[in-house]
Amino acid sequence: MKSNEAILTVTGITKIYGNTLALNNVSFLINSGEWVSVMGPSGSGKTTLLGIISGIIKPSSGKVILTGKEITAMNDEELSLIRRQCIGLVFQEYNLIPYLTALENVMMAQYFHSIVDEGEAVEVLHQIGLAERMHHFPAQLSGGEQQRVSIARAIVNRPLLLLADEPTGNLDRTNAQRIMEIFKQLNEELGVTIICATHDEFVASFSHRTLILHDGRLSGERVR
């Protein structure tokens, strides 16, 4: 499903926290339907980069253009709109709402996007193999299951771009593999563009391309 059409252009992004240079003049381009990993040691700026792409963090300088719209020039209102409609987020900590069931957690995302549709939410949970457990609360689910719920939540509004920050960080190999299978399915069948930050070579091996960050600099690139 890869195409030669850039969905995301990152140009000269620099982010400075006090006297920490978290990102230093990072530029790259991602095509629609691509699956890209971002690797690098701890503190190299992966989380900061994903935060800037999703508009949660404002860069000190540089530009991010998503589907032709300049994210870095948007106000909060426009940002939250584009985040709701175009971007799905998955984190290492699953960030599920503890007093809502799996199904309700997914429906919450629908609510913030537009309106809820239970059938559709059930369908997505089905797709990631959690249909049996959808009425369970997060505390009653295993780590891998919780992460799958958070993926369901991220994809229920069919984002163009899925941003995942160490999605398998807390999971064992079996569960990590499972998550990767889901990503693969999303990427191949629905054409979702994926950017996944990780320091796990196994996880990176699923992607088309890997960007390597070192001390906030883009130091290399690997193509599978």
Partner 1 sequence: MNPVTPILFRTFVVAVLAFLLYFTSTHIKAISRRVALLTLAYLWGLLWSGLYLAQFTNAGYRIDKVFVLWMLNTFLITGVQTYWWLASKNKQPSWINHMYMVLVFVIFAAIISEADMSFRHLAFLKLNRVFIPIGHVALLTGGGLSITIALIITRRWNTIVERIHPAFPLLLVFACVFLFYPNVTLLTAMVFARIAHDVFHWASVFLLLPDHPYLSNLVWEIIGLLFKKGTGVLIAHGAFAILAATAFGAFYYHRDIPPEELSGPERRLWLAANMRRKRLNMIFLVPVFISIFASLTHYRIKSQAIFDPDPVPVELNKDGRVYIPVKDTGDGSMHKFSVSIDRVKIRFIVLKKPDGKWSVVLDACNICPPQGYAQITGALFCKYCGTPIPLNTVGLPGGCNPVPVEFHISDGFIIVDGKQLKNTWINSTRGK
Minimal distance in Å, beta carbon 120 to partner 1? 6
Residue 17 interaction partner, one of Mg ion, partner 1, ligand ATP, none, beta carbon < 5-8 Å per kind: ligand ATP
CA distance 33 to 6: 9
What is the Cα Rg of the chain in Å?
Answer: 17
Q: What is the DSSP string of 135-182?
A: TS-GGGS-HHHHHHHHHHHHHTT--SEEEEESTTTTS-HHHHHHHHHH
Minimal distance in Å, beta carbon 136 to partner 1? 24
Q: Smaller CB distance to ligand ATP: residue 60 or 80?
A: 60
- Contact by Cβ (8 Å): 90, 163: yes
Would you count residue 93 as binding ligand ATP (CB under 6 A)? Answer: no
Positions in 128-167 near partner 1 (CB under 8 A): 156-158
193-212 burial, b at 16+ Cβ within 10 Å, e below that, comes to bbbbbbbbeebbebbbbbbb
Would you count residue 48 as binding ligand ATP (CB under 6 A)? Answer: yes
CA distance 206 to 224: 9
Would you count residue 47 as binding Mg ion (CB under 5 A)? Answer: yes
Contact letters for ligand ATP, residues 28-47 (x by CB under 6 A): ------------x-xxxxxx
Minimal distance in Å, beta carbon 209 to ligand ATP? 18
Residue 42 interaction partner, one of ligand ATP, Mg ion, partner 1, none, beta carbon < 5-8 Å per kind: ligand ATP
Identify which range of 44-52, 112-120, 134-142, 213-221 contacts Mg ion by CB under 5 A.
44-52
User: Measured over all CA atoms, what is the biggest interatomic distance in the chain, rounded to whole angstroms?
Assistant: 50
Would you count residue 120 as binding partner 1 (CB under 8 A)? Answer: yes
CA distance 207 to 1: 13
For residue 58, count other CB atoms closer than 10 A to its CB: 11
Would you count residue 198 as binding Mg ion (CB under 5 A)? Answer: no
Would you count residue 140 as binding ligand ATP (CB under 6 A)? Answer: no
Minimal distance in Å, beta carbon 9 to partner 1? 25
Residue 209's φ and ψ, nearest 5 degrees, are -155, 145
Sheet with 61-66: list strands edge to edge.
20-31, 6-17, 61-66, 69-70
Q: Which residues bind ligand ATP (CB under 6 A)?
A: 17, 20, 22, 40, 42-48
Q: Which residues bind partner 1 (CB under 8 A)?
A: 85, 110, 113-117, 120, 156-158
